[in-house]
């Protein structure tokens, strides 16, 4: 059993930033965020990505392309709602106004904010996936 409280942690990183909406680059951004899931889970935490909830909803709502009105009405609002429900946010990856916004929202709601995996309870000995 872990010697720390389990946290529900939103992993926030770039989704579209720096991709020009290229599907392969977007997939790489999601892969980077998802690379933190197992280390966090194995440390006793519950990791989540807003994309896991938003993207199926965007499709169900009839979005035709990234950034259309339907996409914009769902994508960031899902992450904003998650931030309020999560215990913490882990900010990963490169520049992203949206991810930075999630971090600021977390701070405003008194949530723990981390910018390094090793700073999360139970993760001090882990290697950050960005360092591979």
pLDDT tens per residue across span 44-94: 999 999 999 999 999 999 999 999 999 999 999 999 999 999 999 999 999
> Measured between alpha carbons, how far is residue 85 from residues 15, 67, 88, 94, 95 in Å?
21, 25, 9, 24, 24
Q: Give the tens place of pLDDT for each residue, 89-109.
A: 999 999 999 999 999 999 999
pLDDT at 2: 63
Question: Residue 103 corresponds to which tokens in the numbers above?
Answer: 């971090």
Q: State residue 65's pLDDT score.
A: 95
Is 49:89 a contact under the CB 8 Å cutoff?
A: no
Check pLDDT > 50 for residue 1.
no
Q: What is the pLDDT of residue 128?
A: 87
pLDDT in tens, 41-55: 999 999 999 999 999
Q: Under CATH, which number does the domain 8-14+22-123 receive?
A: 3.40.50.10400
Whole-number pLDDT of residue 126: 87
Q: What is the pLDDT of residue 130?
A: 82
Ramachandran bin of 117, using left for φ above 0, alpha for ψ from -120 to 50, beta for the remaining angles: alpha
| Domain ranges across the chain | 8-14+22-123
Is the pTM above the cut of 0.85?
yes
């Amino acid at each position: 059993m872990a010697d720390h409280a389990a946290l529900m942690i939103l992993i926030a990183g770039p989704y579209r930033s720096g991709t020009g909406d290229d599907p392969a680059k977007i997939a790489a951004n999601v892969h980077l965020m998802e690379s933190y899931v197992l280390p966090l889970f194995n440390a006793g935490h519950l990791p989540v990505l807003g994309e896991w909830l938003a993207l199926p909803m965007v499709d169900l709502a009839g979005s035709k392309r990234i950034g259309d009105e339907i996409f914009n009405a769902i994508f960031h609002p899902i992450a904003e709602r998650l931030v309020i429900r999560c215990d913490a946010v882990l900010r990963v990856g490169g520049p992203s106004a949206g991810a930075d916004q999630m971090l600021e929202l977390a701070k405003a709601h008194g949530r723990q904010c981390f910018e390094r995996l090793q700073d999360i309870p139970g993760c001090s000995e882990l290697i950050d996936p960005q360092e591979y």
